[in-house]
Structure 1
Amino acid sequence: MTGDAEASLPLTVTTYVRLRGIPAPRARRRRRREPDDEHAPFAPGRDPRGLGDVVSALTREAGWDSQLAREDLMLQWNEVAGAQTAAHARPVALDAGVLTVQCDSTAWAKQLSLLRAEIVTRLARAHPDAGIEGIRFIGPDVPSWKWGTRTIPGRGPRDTYG
């Protein structure tokens, strides 16, 4: 056994190792690490960066770009669709690349569905990371007769509207 390895072990362990004939552990030498280029002082790339650059790098590395673009699209719907259109239609869902927009009336839904290609083009230009492939316009929510515990299948109360 080497002298410095024995000095680091307690006397009982050293005695046991000698009696059993187990080779003593060698003292490990610490390797000097070469200084990394990115941690070396005055190396290129060590200049301070702006907060916007740091946050954009973080979002890119975490894979949040598409989700943030979708949220940005929802918030900026007025600018993309126009003030008059935004007054009568609002985005309610974004699923599998299809944006669902709810309109005040079925007339607005029909008019906007005729302008679908233009609106999708505007959305793709304004928010390319959102991944909008299509858009769906729906009318207002209407009351449903299909609810409750005593509902039966069928056409419903059609004969009362006369």
Structure 2
Amino acid sequence: MPEPRDPVEPGEPPPEEHEAVPHDPTGLSLARETARALGARARRRRPPPSGERRRTVDPVSSGAHPDDRDPQTLSRAVHRLVDAKGWAAEVNVRTLLARWALLVGPTLALHSKPERYADAELTVRTDSTAWATQLRHMAPQLVAMLNEQLGADTVRFVRVLGPDAPSWKHGGRSVRDGRGPRDTYG
């Protein structure tokens, strides 16, 4: 009856047939043959593609204490993103403008709303010209208050706009330099 063989791993060439080797009590020939097989397998491995290296773990940052590789809370990840992109001043302005009623008072907040912030200029829209005048008189104090809370020169100017004027264009076809508003609406 033939002797059973060891299974062959996929991708490995079939074992070479050797002549009957006299029994080696020290196992030296078996060790040499195993080392030769392992060396051949290691030589057949492909090197990693160029530019791709194995990541090594920094033994200093590894351990039981929290580090940057641990899962982060969403708020911490957002704060890190805001800091990395340099959006901190913009986010602070938007947060403060979301609390407009606390900044200017509830009465004035009912009749005005911040529309835009760009290039250190805050644009505020009011619902009547009287409230626009009130807010224009208050603009220097508003700039000082915003800069105190947000940092120097975050807001340099407050532009106050009154209500939008009504449109006199009605329909898809109208005269470009038409009549416009007159002293009577009839």
Q: State the TM-score, normalized to the length of structure 2.
A: 0.56
Aligned-partner residue type, residue 145 of structure 1: W
Conserved 8 A contact 2:100-2:113: yes
Q: Determine if the alignment matches structure 1 residue 96 to structure 2 residue 119.
A: yes
Aligned-partner residue type, residue 144 of structure 2: T
Quick check: which one's helix share is greater?
1
Structure 2's unaligned 5+ residue stretches are 1-35, 48-52
Structure 1's unaligned 5+ residue stretches are 11-24
Conserved 8 A contact 2:146-2:154: no
Q: What is the rounded CA distance, in whole Å, between the counterparts of 2:85 and 2:110 in structure 1?
A: 35
Aligned counterpart for 2:63 among listed residues 41, 66, 69: 41
Tell me which of the two structures has the higher relative contact order, counting C-alpha pairs closer than 8 angstroms and 6 or more residues apart. Answer: 1
Q: State the TM-score, normalized to the length of structure 1.
A: 0.63
| Pairing 1:77-92 to 2, within 5 Å after superposition | 77-92=100-115
Moved over 4 A (4+): 45-48, 50-55
Aligned counterpart for 1:142 among listed residues 162, 165, 174: 165
Aligned counterpart for 1:151 among listed residues 147, 165, 175: 175
Relative to structure 1, is the Cα distance of residues 6 and 87 closer, same or farther in structure 2, using a 3 angstrom cutoff?
closer
Q: What is the rounded CA distance, in whole Å, between the counterparts of 1:95 and 1:7 in structure 2?
A: 62
- Give the equivalent residue in structure 2 for 1:9: 44
Structure 1 vs Structure 2: percent identity of aligned residues? 34
Q: What is the root-mean-square deviation in Å for CA atoms of aligned residues?
A: 3.9
SS in 2 for 1:115: helix
